[in-house]
Every structure is written in structure tokens, then in C-alpha cells.
Chains A and B, each alone.
Chain A
Amino acid sequence: MPALTRHIHPGWLIIAPLLVLVMALYLGPILNILWLSVTDPEPGFGNYAKLGESDALIRIVWTTVRICIITTLFSVTLGYSIAYAMVHCHQRQKNYMLTLLLVSFWISILVRTFSWLMLLGRKGLVNVTLEDIGLIAEPIAFMRNELGVLIGMIHYMIPYAVLPLLVSMQSLDMRVMDASRNLGASGSQTFWRIYLPLTTPGIVASTLLVFILSLGFYVTPAVLGGGKVLMVAEYISVQLLVTLKWGTAAMLAAIMLMGVLAMLWVMSRFMKLSTVFGGAAR
């Protein structure tokens, strides 16, 4: 034992339980899925070749990427506005804003999706209200299309976009902005040429975080898309639970996983990952 602890720090002993558990029950099956993507139903890259052959698959991947990009654009832009307002107001007002932000974080995804179902349906509150005040004659189709999925996803992602931006804005040295104003730059010049570039790490982190989380999103697209908007996550679940084809699903999962890991790597160059998740925590 002493010989062992001389080489290995005793701290590893209490790291081991969780590490072993995650390696055995999580890393193991994930590697197995990667393996499946090149062996099921037959060895080779047949599953990956399908991406070039099957129009349906390409459409699903393209829908997913498009929805994720739009979601990310809106969430980060709106999140920037919220974070900016939070950093530049009185402490009290900031606390109220933070409370609202965190409460929305904590409300169950199922409750939120259910609420959108009630609000956006053909006879939902939004359509009924618009008809009652005479703005529209026919109900607007908010659901069973990309619009509904986007509304639900952006609504869910905004808090995730805000947190990395908050961290980055709070660490800015405001004297730089004052210096810029003193040297004669206008308010908007200072913002566009000094403030915005200085918050780039926050913007990159928040963009990648929201994009990654959107990629694998399942609940909202499945409910608000109503089967009309098929994204990768839902397709994988159908493949596994209904048609029992592991190969194609494993291939899509492998591509998604590689993408996520690559983005995480990029993200880690801009920000300490734990600070991003520290606030997010879910």
C-alpha cells in the first residue's frame, strides 16, 4: 500500500467510485454505439453512405441544423439584450431580473411544452384572442410546423444564452468604456467598437452552448412539431423504439457526438467550461 500511494495521490481513491461508474455505465455503451455505427447491419461505412443516398435522411439533418441555427441566433441576440440590461442597472432591479430568469430555468420542460400547446393550438389562447379582437379571420398555424418548434425552443434556450454572457460582461473593466468616451467616441461607437468585441468570448460560449443543447433537443420538437417537423433526436428514437434499426441511429448519434465534442473543444478555448455550466446547472 505505501508503495502504491507513493506513486498515486491518495485523492484518486475517492475520485475512483464516480469515475469507474461513469466509465463502465456511460462511456462503455457510448463507445459501443460508435462501434455499432460501422458494424450494424454489416461491417463497413454503409450507414454513413446512406447520408449521401437517402433524401429523407438529408432532409432530417438539414431541418435539424437549420432549426438549431435560427434558435441560436435568436436566443443569443435576445440573451445579449437581457444580460446587458442586467449588468447595467441597479442591484435591486438586477436581483428581480435574476429571479425571473432562474424561475424560468426551474420550471419543468414538460410544463412549458404543455403551456405552449395550450397557447398556440388552433383553438389556443393566442388564436382565440387575436380572433376576438378582430386582427385575424382564420387561426394562424403556430403548431405542427417549424414556427411552433422555434417558439418553444427559443423560449427554452434564452436563459442558457444569458448566463455565459453575464459572466463575460461582469468581468469587463468599465474604465475602458469611460476612456473611449473621454477620447471622444460616441455612445454607439463605444458599444460597437469596444464593448461588443470585448464580450466576444461570452458570445462564442453562449452561441456554442445553445447550439449544442438545441442539437439533441427532443421534447419540444416532438410535441410542437406534431410529427410534421422531424429532427434527428426524434428520428433516432423512432429508429430504436419502433423500427429497431440500430445502425442508422448509431450513425446519426456518432455524427452528433463528434460535432458536440468539436464544439466543446472550441468553446474551451474561449471560456472555462465549468463557469458556463456552473450557472446553468441543468
Chain B
Amino acid sequence: MTSGLFSKFNRVGAWVLLLFLVTPALIAIPVSLTPKRFLSMPKGEFSLRHFEKLFTSEEWLSSFFQSGVIAVSTSALATVLGTLCAIGLWRVSSRYSELVRAFLLLPLIIPQIISAMAFYRLWIPLGLLDSYAGLILAHTILAAPMVLITVSASLATFDPKLEQASKNLGASNWTTMRRVILPSIKPGVFAGALFAFILSWDEIVVTLFISKFSVYTLPRRMWNGIRENTDPTVAAAAVVLIAITVIAFVITSIMSRRSAKSQAQ
């Protein structure tokens, strides 16, 4: 290996870089505590007025609610479609199914601005612009590939003999799916559902194109706040989002540790 000195130097550099990745976001915390009416760093005095405003403002609350509804529906829909599709692809596993898999992953990698154009183009004649259904459908198409990936990863470690055994013992296809396959790919399904939720909760580019007035998600309202660059309520919202991120992260790491333990036993 390279000399120990270089390795040590590189390790210090890597730590500095990793801290650089995480720390800038923390500036939202002091800014959200400013007592002033405009975006500024607080000097000695702190106030919670912007949090108060965030949690009493009808606009912000409705955005939280709308984003929640859209993200939960997206996650449910994407998880069902993605899981079924992953199981289907796994059972077929032919050259064609691999092509289909590659095709279905495209929405994840095609630049979001192009996806936004596509949805905008089609949603106009379909009358889906600025509606819950429009946003949920668009987000589902973007999120389903993620479920496909996580469930396929779980299926890769599933022993096909178990499926065969279940069928040999007389279980129907449906029973086998529900009692044998689904329980063993649960971690993948949960991870996919979570990723789908986050994608929708955080989605801005497509949302900017296909929503206007009646549906105004949280990212959309934050985007507006950032563009106007005056109201510190945005900082308070950012702090709430960071808190949610950290909580979600802790929950998932506890869950994955637990499932790793139960698998080891």
C-alpha cells in the first residue's frame, strides 16, 4: 500500500471533506433564531418568533400537509407497483426482462428538467396540471425505480428453493407471494417505501412545472422563500427539515441494525 504517512494525511483530508459535506446546512439553525424581520445572523439575542410563525401560518401548515399527503400517496403507490414489478422481473429473468429493468430505471437518471418537460407536456391535455393526482402520478413514476432497486436487492439474496418448496407443499401462487416471498423481502420493501417518500417530499424541479396555486408543496414554498431571500421563516422551515432528516436517519439505522442482528441469529 502507499506509505503510511500519505494514508494518514488522506484520512485527515477525508474527514475534513465529510464535515464540509454536512456542516454548511447547520447555518440554518442560528439564522432561524434571529430576532430580526429579515434574514440575518443573530447578534447576542435569540428569538423563536420565526418558528412560531412557521407553525401558526396557514400557508406553511397547508404546505406541510399537502407535501405529506402527496409523499405518503406516492410512497404507497410506488411501493406496490415497484414491488410487484421487481418480483415479476425476478421470476421471469430473461434477456427481455433485463431490458425492461434497464428501461424502468431511466426516470431515475434522466435529468429532472427533461422529466419535468415531459410531465408538463402531457399534463396540459390531460388536465392534470396543478392537481394532487398530477403530482402523485409524476412522483410515482420518478420514485418507483427506487423501490425496484431496493426490492431487487432483497430478492437477490432470497433462495428460490423456498418458493419451490412452498408450491410443492400445495400453496397457491398468491399464498406463496404473501406468506413466503413478501416476508423475506420486507427490508427491501421498507427501504424502497422510505426512499420514495423522501424523493416526493423533497421534489422541486418537476413540482415547479406542474403545480401552480391550488397545490403548493413544502419544497415549492421554500423555493419561493429562497428566491425572495428576505423572510427568516424559510430558515425555520429548513431547521425543521434537518430535524426530520436526522430523525428518519436514526430510525432507519436502528431498524437496519435490528434486522441485521435478527438475520445473524
Which residues from chain A sit less than 8 Å from chain B, CB to CB?
9-19, 21-22, 25-26, 28-30, 32-33, 78, 81-82, 84-86, 88-89, 97, 99-104, 106-119, 125, 128, 155, 158-159, 177, 181, 186-188, 190-191, 195, 212-213, 215-219, 223, 232-233, 236-237, 240-241, 249-250, 253, 256-257, 260, 264, 268, 273-274, 277-278, 281-282
Main secondary structure of the interface of A (DSSP, over half): helix
Q: Which of B11, B104, B108, B138 contacts A85 (CB 8 A)?
A: B11
Closest residue on chain A to residue B208 by CB atoms? A237
* A26-B115, A81-B10, A85-B14 known; A15-B92 Cβ under 8 A: yes
Closest residue on chain B to residue A100 by CB atoms? B18
Q: Which of B104, B208, B238 contacts A115 (CB 8 A)?
A: B238
Rounded to whole angstroms, the CA-CA distance of A100 and B113 in the bound complex is 29
Rounded to whole angstroms, the CA-CA distance of A111 and B31 in the bound complex is 12
| B69 CB within 8 Å of chain A | no
Please tell me if the beta carbons of B113 and A233 are within 8 angstroms of each other in the complex.
Answer: yes
* Chain B contacts for A18, CB-based, 8 A: 81-82, 84-85, 104, 144, 148
| B234 CB within 8 Å of chain A | yes
Please tell me if the beta carbons of B219 and A110 are within 8 angstroms of each other in the complex.
Answer: yes
Q: Which of A187, A241, A257 contacts B6 (CB 8 A)?
A: A187
Please tell me if the beta carbons of A108 and B88 are within 8 angstroms of each other in the complex.
Answer: no
Please tell me if the beta carbons of B14 and A278 are within 8 angstroms of each other in the complex.
Answer: no
Q: Which of A30, A218, A277 contacts B108 (CB 8 A)?
A: A277
Please tell me if the beta carbons of A15 and B117 are within 8 angstroms of each other in the complex.
Answer: no
Rounded to whole angstroms, the CA-CA distance of A19 and B65 in the bound complex is 30
Which residues from chain B sit less than 8 Å from chain A, CB to CB?
1-3, 6-7, 10-11, 13-15, 17-22, 24-28, 31, 39, 41, 81-82, 84-85, 87-92, 94, 97, 100-105, 107-122, 137-138, 140-141, 144-146, 148-150, 152-153, 173, 195, 198-199, 202, 204-205, 208-209, 219, 222-223, 225-227, 229, 234-235, 238, 241-242, 245-246, 248-249, 253
Please tell me if the beta carbons of A22 and B107 are within 8 angstroms of each other in the complex.
Answer: yes
Closest residue on chain B to residue A276 by CB atoms? B109
Rounded to whole angstroms, the CA-CA distance of A15 and B19 in the bound complex is 42
* Chain A contacts for B15, CB-based, 8 A: 85, 97
* Chain A contacts for B27, CB-based, 8 A: 115, 118-119, 125
CB proximity of B204 to chain A, nearest CB, Å? 6
Interchain Cβ contacts under 8 Å between A and B, 16 examples: A14-B87, A17-B84, A19-B85, A22-B107, A78-B17, A85-B10, A107-B245, A110-B226, A115-B26, A118-B31, A187-B3, A191-B1, A216-B111, A257-B110, A274-B101, A281-B195
Main secondary structure of the interface of B (DSSP, over half): helix
CB proximity of A48 to chain B, nearest CB, Å? 17
* Chain B contacts for A26, CB-based, 8 A: 107, 115, 118-119, 141
Closest residue on chain A to residue B41 by CB atoms? A125
Rounded to whole angstroms, the CA-CA distance of A154 and B39 in the bound complex is 25
Please tell me if the beta carbons of A216 and B87 are within 8 angstroms of each other in the complex.
Answer: no
* Chain A contacts for B249, CB-based, 8 A: 99, 102-103, 106
Q: Which of B14, B138, B195, B205 contacts A84 (CB 8 A)?
A: B14
* Chain B contacts for A186, CB-based, 8 A: 3
* Chain B contacts for A100, CB-based, 8 A: 18-19, 21-22
Rounded to whole angstroms, the CA-CA distance of A32 and B124 in the bound complex is 13
Please tell me if the beta carbons of B199 and A110 are within 8 angstroms of each other in the complex.
Answer: no
CB proximity of B7 to chain A, nearest CB, Å? 6
CB proximity of B114 to chain A, nearest CB, Å? 5
Additional A-B contact list (15), CB under 8 Å, known A108-B238, A114-B222, A282-B198: A15-B85, A15-B92, A15-B100, A16-B88, A21-B140, A26-B107, A88-B1, A88-B11, A107-B25, A109-B204, A111-B242, A115-B27, A155-B20, A218-B205, A257-B114
* Chain B contacts for A102, CB-based, 8 A: 249
Closest residue on chain A to residue B81 by CB atoms? A18
Rounded to whole angstroms, the CA-CA distance of A81 and B9 in the bound complex is 10
Rounded to whole angstroms, the CA-CA distance of A282 and B107 in the bound complex is 11
CB proximity of A266 to chain B, nearest CB, Å? 13
